[in-house]
Structure 1
Amino acid sequence: MSAKGQEGPLASRVEAESPCSDMKRAATKKLIERYFYQLIDGCGNPSCDNQYCASSGKLANLTANEAAAQAINLFSQDARLCDGTQPSKVAKTTLESGPASLAKSLPNKNINPTCSVEGKSVPYLTEAKLVDIIEKCKAESSYSLLIRTLGEVFSSSQALIKSFQKSEKNDSALAALLDKAPTSLLCSSKEMSKEAVRSLQGDDKEEDSCDSAPKVPQPDDTSVDLPAVRRAFEALWSLPGEAFESALVHALVTLADQIELDLRVFGVNEAESTDSLLSVFLIVFEIPVLGSSEYLDMALHMLCKAASCLPISAQAKLARIWARHCKSRLPSLLQALQQLITVKVIGGAFTRDYCVQDADTITAPTKVMQIIYYASILAGELDPSEVAEGTNEANNSEKSKPSEVTSSDLAEELGVSFLDSRNPLIPFVDFYNEPLSDAVEMDKDFAYYKSEQPKKFSFMNYAFILTPATKTLGLYYDNRIRMYSERRMSFFQAVVGRPSNPYLRLKVRRDHLIEDALVELEVVAMENPSDFKKQLVVEFEGEQGVDEGGVSKEFFQLVVEEIFNPDYGMFTTQEDTQTTWFNPTSFESDAQFTLIGIVLGLAIYNNVILDVRFPMVVYRKLLGRKGTFADLEDWNPTLYRTLLDMLEYAEDDMADVFMQTFKIGYKDVFGNLLYHELSDKGDEVYVTQTNKKEFVDLYTDFLLVKSVERQFEAFKNGFQMVTDESPLALLFRPEEIEQLVCGSKIFDFAELEAATEYEGGYTVESDAIRNFWQVAHSLQPESQRKLLQFTTGSDRVPVGGLSRLKMVIARHGPDSDRLPIAHTCFNVLLLPDYSTLEKLQDRLLKAINYSKGFGML
């Protein structure tokens, strides 16, 4: 669409002789103009069902004069007008000469506003020109003219800048017809709604002033006629591909080389030059077959390299334009980039010295995919800005500003975060690339992420493309390095006579678990919170054993079982969803909620999965977002549907139907009904059509924020004591953090069998192993979880599924009556070579059902 504030053929006229007010007349013209451009260009919504909109596909192609006449008729009929339809007029974009201009970027190639090069006119294409050339080639059965034209235009940025520009003929046709329209029509506004008149009058207050300064164009405007580009490409690909595609591919390679050279050597600093160059990328990325083999091999990655050199402001504008004008195109463009990355990963010969991060055929499309990622967020459903509490991936990362454009930089430029997105245009999971995630060596990627000079490409800065399992490795390396750093510092302190413990040691009693853990963690929090960065080592009093990970897992499990029990009084269970929520009437101290936050942080920090079931709003709030009405759908579906019915109710008898005041009731942990007034004298204020939105917002804010503010803030403070320096918020979205805490929801023992290794003489063909898996697969899900608990110390599935769990089954002697033994620290099951299936089943079931507590078989 067009630059807002550009003077159109209607708004620019002031007709003093009109007996009606200039403002009303201008408003009327503005509305007719919107009808006109809806008929010509459409609203941009690919699923539009308005029969008077070009985007619906229900409207025949109209000439400018026909559209102008019909626009006046639609105005007089008060016909439907799509939201967001604006005049698509933009001032012609030209390149000015100057030291920073693209016009000076190559020697002997000077571009001036007349678009001539060395005295020769620059070739360009329009939809009509291309269709004429195609028809001529068909008639002559020769495609030489088409091949020559495509080669000339698509190999030159100057030619493409001039191509497919929006025509001003439409403006002239509409203006001419309106000049002939009767004054009574243009003065009448009774057909317009009051809101439309008021809105249009407000828009024109400044525009109608002769002295008003020109406004800055909207950041999502473009001079490219994108619908015409798509129709032109559709006509082009109605021909046999071999007739022209080779020439087009080679032209695109030349084009990309030229633009990359321009940007790397000279840059683009002037807004006009940047806009012109964006026109080139808008056109070439509309090519419908970029994902086919010939384009993947030669052209697409070259175009990505050129686009990745754009400054951050240009990338942000491209994201906005794509979000507004190219919604139907973005999924297929993303698919083409995914195919390119996958092909290059699978076909690449990567080593430790030359890894995927060093291949620009992979990193360049990743950078372009980042633009699509944010375009998808902008084009989807967003939370209002007041939901943010000032924490997002742009400011929660510990890294300094890099030399390249990363995800956080683009987010900051756009003023948007993935946390703002409720429902992106393209699902977030569609951006995962599994072959790439498997190929990335995260230890090296983490080193690149931390490096300063020279700046290296790190996929941790483009975490949207990595699967949660791979990102977990990045977090693991960050955590381990901090642990080793703390350990090394303890060693140095011991050398200078200030001995300190290199580990975070907790010594607890089983029957006083919460009290002991609370006391010890409180001491650490008060005296030296940095100790939370040390590796956790747990010791149960009176029990032998060295904690290599298994004892810590049991500690976390026991703490969660006790403190999340509703009988303990700190948390409640939501009836609909069986999720855990903070008890708003809890008498427990803030320190105990801080303990839970610390435990949650330590579990992530020490790579332990917990059996907790928080609603998603908890993880959103931990990342700095407030609870909103949309969060109620997951928190309490029944209440959400009730409030939604209230919001959608349109009759005037709302107060009589719903009988709801601004006084609401809720239950405490004991089932007692409590009341709260959402406003002053709320029991006297009934919910009506005028205040229903306010009621829903206040109700939501009370349930998700104010009623548990004390408890949650203590919980969040404890969590941040452990994770404050972690790249957690850079890498993970709220739903991914839930996987990190709770594990995967996919429980597939076939994956576990495929990933299991065998030692001590066992192989996959051993009778005992065959019998073991026969028994394991026949168990009920609850018993399977017990087997997983017995073997690994946790019944939770790690992020990425059971295939990520490296379990080992080792032979533990010949047939005997002994029970199997597990070393949970190393996920090792010691299994005697039982002679029969029945004996193995009996011994195994006894082991997994009576194994609770360290040292018990």
Structure 2
Amino acid sequence: MKLHRNNIFEESYRRIMSLKRPDVLKARLWIEFESEKGLDYGGVAREWFFLLSKEMFNPYYGLFEYSATDNYTLQINPNSGLCNEDHLSYFKFIGRVAGMAVFHGKLLDGFFIRPFYKMMLGKQISLKDMESVDSEYYNSLKWILENDPTELDLRFCIDEDNFGQTYQVDLKPSGSDMVVTNENKKEYIDLVIQWRFVNRVQKQMNAFLEGFTELIPIDLIKIFDENELELLMCGLGDVDVNDWRQHTVYKNGYCPNHPVIQWFWKVVLLMDAEKRIRLLQFVTGTSRVPMNGFAELYGSNGPQLFTIEQWGTPDKLPRAHTCFNRLDLPSYESFEDLREKLLMAVENAQGFEGVD
């Protein structure tokens, strides 16, 4: 493909979507930028994926938006159709590009909320997944789960805001006439989560998957969990341990010179790149580090530095609060004990009660 740098999004869209046989995209990638000499031995193709990602995922185009209050974790914009009437065609294009990246071993420069990867895998999205995306909503639903909501007079409906206009959406037929009680609150919470993450963007996700699966059969990615799929599509990235360490807060008796904290950073330094990313995913909910480093790390309520708090007894595994980028770390009695329990917590984060 021969493209102009200053029009990379639209030109790539036209070229890729004009193909009648998408399997052509599995052929060797040959990218050339107009007025630039040079053979593409992989470097130009890598740059094309990087530059195109920046454009495709830019919220300016209305296809994606940043989640919660951060400015680096993406989610599908449920109102994308109001921004671009051809939005489903663009989502299919983005799916094809994502499939090309996986097929050719290249990476996309964009990081998505965990439910995005779960939707790709056809997995159930849980209340736990909401915490790192929208902590206010998460706390409200968690309160309902743990208390009797009958007196709140909640109904099986949601108020949805569209560019300043508020609409009432039933979560099930005649939902506005049904009161949420202690008996049906679990169904209500499940329906809210389904609405928040799935129903509003189902058409966009279907279009994305249609493009993606033209290159990568869905069965091939179902061997991964959502964290592994993120790494497959977006890569490990670089984690600067010194920067991480300099911008970490300690609470409840811990400080930089505490033996347990010294052991913790020794474990991190001894980890390979993938283990470090998995630790980051465990505590923050994403493998993404902001462009300007850990100093600008966000939680779901705004700026929130990585935090390690003393908690629990040495027989417990560490636990994580992705909403606050916080690791609750017991005061272990040896380096070996800390290393063993930290790795166990990180590797078993799937369905693990230590993450909320």
Q: 1:726 to 1:543 in 2, by over 3 A?
A: farther
Residue of structure 2 equivalent to 1:516: 11
The amino acid across from 1:736 in the alignment is E
User: Matches of 2:237 and 2:139 in 1, distance apart?
Assistant: 26
Deviations 1:126-170 (CA, angstroms, capped at 9, x unpaired): xxxxxxxxxxxxxxxxxxxxxxxxxxxxxxxxxxxxxxxxxxxxx
Residue of structure 2 equivalent to 1:744: 236
Q: 1:741 to 1:667 in 2, by over 3 A?
A: farther
Q: Superposition pairs for residues 277-292 of structure 1, below 5 Å?
A: none
Task: Decide which of 146, 149, 172 is 1:648's aligned counterpart.
Answer: 146
Residue of structure 1 equivalent to 2:335: none
Structure 2 unaligned residues grouped into runs of 5+? 248-271, 278-356
User: Helix, strand or coil: the match of 2:222?
Assistant: helix
Superposition deviation, residue 749 in structure 1: 8.0
Residue of structure 2 equivalent to 1:631: 129
Asked whether the equivalents of residues 678 and 698 of structure 1 are also in contact (C-alpha less than 8 Å), the reply is: yes
Q: Superposition pairs for residues 197-276 of structure 1, below 5 Å?
A: none
Matched, 1:583 2:77: yes
Superposition deviation, residue 529 in structure 1: 2.1
User: Matches of 1:639 and 1:606 in 2, distance apart?
Assistant: 39
Asked whether the equivalents of residues 576 and 638 of structure 1 are also in contact (C-alpha less than 8 Å), the reply is: no
Q: RMSD of the alignment, in Å?
A: 3.0
User: Matches of 1:799 and 1:521 in 2, distance apart?
Assistant: 32
Q: Superposition pairs for residues 363-762 of structure 1, below 5 Å?
A: 506-524=1-19, 527-576=20-69, 578=71, 579-587=73-81, 588=84, 589=86, 590-650=88-148, 654-656=149-151, 658-668=152-162, 670=163, 673-724=166-217, 727-730=220-223, 732-744=224-236, 747-748=239-240
Superposition deviation, residue 711 in structure 1: 0.3
User: Matches of 1:552 and 1:800 in 2, distance apart?
Assistant: 28
User: Matches of 2:196 and 2:228 in 1, distance apart?
Assistant: 24
User: Matches of 1:705 and 1:637 in 2, distance apart?
Assistant: 18
Residue of structure 1 equivalent to 2:290: none
TM-score normalised to structure 2 length: 0.61
Q: 1:511 to 1:746 in 2, by over 3 A?
A: closer
User: Matches of 1:698 and 1:582 in 2, distance apart?
Assistant: 19
Q: Highest relative contact order (Cα 8 Å, sep 6+), 1 or 2?
A: 2
The amino acid across from 1:571 in the alignment is F
Q: 1:577 to 1:667 in 2, by over 3 A?
A: farther
User: Matches of 1:710 and 1:570 in 2, distance apart?
Assistant: 12
Q: 1:729 to 1:693 in 2, by over 3 A?
A: closer
Residue of structure 1 equivalent to 2:301: none
User: Matches of 2:51 and 2:113 in 1, distance apart?
Assistant: 21
The amino acid across from 1:618 in the alignment is F
The amino acid across from 1:540 in the alignment is F
Superposition deviation, residue 643 in structure 1: 0.5
Q: Superposition pairs for residues 67-78 of structure 1, below 5 Å?
A: none
User: Helix, strand or coil: the match of 2:231?
Assistant: helix
Superposition deviation, residue 745 in structure 1: 5.4
Structure 1 unaligned residues grouped into runs of 5+? 1-505, 751-776, 782-796, 803-857
User: Matches of 1:665 and 1:581 in 2, distance apart?
Assistant: 20
Superposition deviation, residue 726 in structure 1: 8.0
User: Helix, strand or coil: the match of 1:543?
Assistant: coil
User: Matches of 2:119 and 2:54 in 1, distance apart?
Assistant: 23
Superposition deviation, residue 800 in structure 1: 7.0
The aligned length equals 246
User: Matches of 1:674 and 1:549 in 2, distance apart?
Assistant: 49
Q: 1:744 to 1:528 in 2, by over 3 A?
A: same
Deviations 1:503-553 (CA, angstroms, capped at 9, x unpaired): xxx2222232222111111122xx222212222221222222222222122
User: Matches of 1:543 and 1:567 in 2, distance apart?
Assistant: 28
Q: 1:573 to 1:749 in 2, by over 3 A?
A: closer
Q: 1:798 to 1:562 in 2, by over 3 A?
A: farther
Higher helix fraction (1 or 2):
1
User: Matches of 1:576 and 1:742 in 2, distance apart?
Assistant: 21
TM-score normalised to structure 1 length: 0.27
Q: 1:749 to 1:545 in 2, by over 3 A?
A: farther
Asked whether the equivalents of residues 743 and 798 of structure 1 are also in contact (C-alpha less than 8 Å), the reply is: no
User: Helix, strand or coil: the match of 1:537?
Assistant: coil
Superposition deviation, residue 640 in structure 1: 1.8
Q: 1:727 to 1:694 in 2, by over 3 A?
A: closer
Deviations 1:70-125 (CA, angstroms, capped at 9, x unpaired): xxxxxxxxxxxxxxxxxxxxxxxxxxxxxxxxxxxxxxxxxxxxxxxxxxxxxxxx
Asked whether the equivalents of residues 744 and 800 of structure 1 are also in contact (C-alpha less than 8 Å), the reply is: no
Residue of structure 2 equivalent to 1:177: none
User: Helix, strand or coil: the match of 2:169?
Assistant: strand
User: Between Structure 1 and Structure 2, whose CA radius of gyration is higher?
Assistant: 1
User: Helix, strand or coil: the match of 1:666?
Assistant: strand
The amino acid across from 1:705 in the alignment is V
Deviations 1:425-456 (CA, angstroms, capped at 9, x unpaired): xxxxxxxxxxxxxxxxxxxxxxxxxxxxxxxx
Q: 1:529 to 1:699 in 2, by over 3 A?
A: same
Asked whether the equivalents of residues 577 and 635 of structure 1 are also in contact (C-alpha less than 8 Å), the reply is: no
The amino acid across from 1:519 in the alignment is R
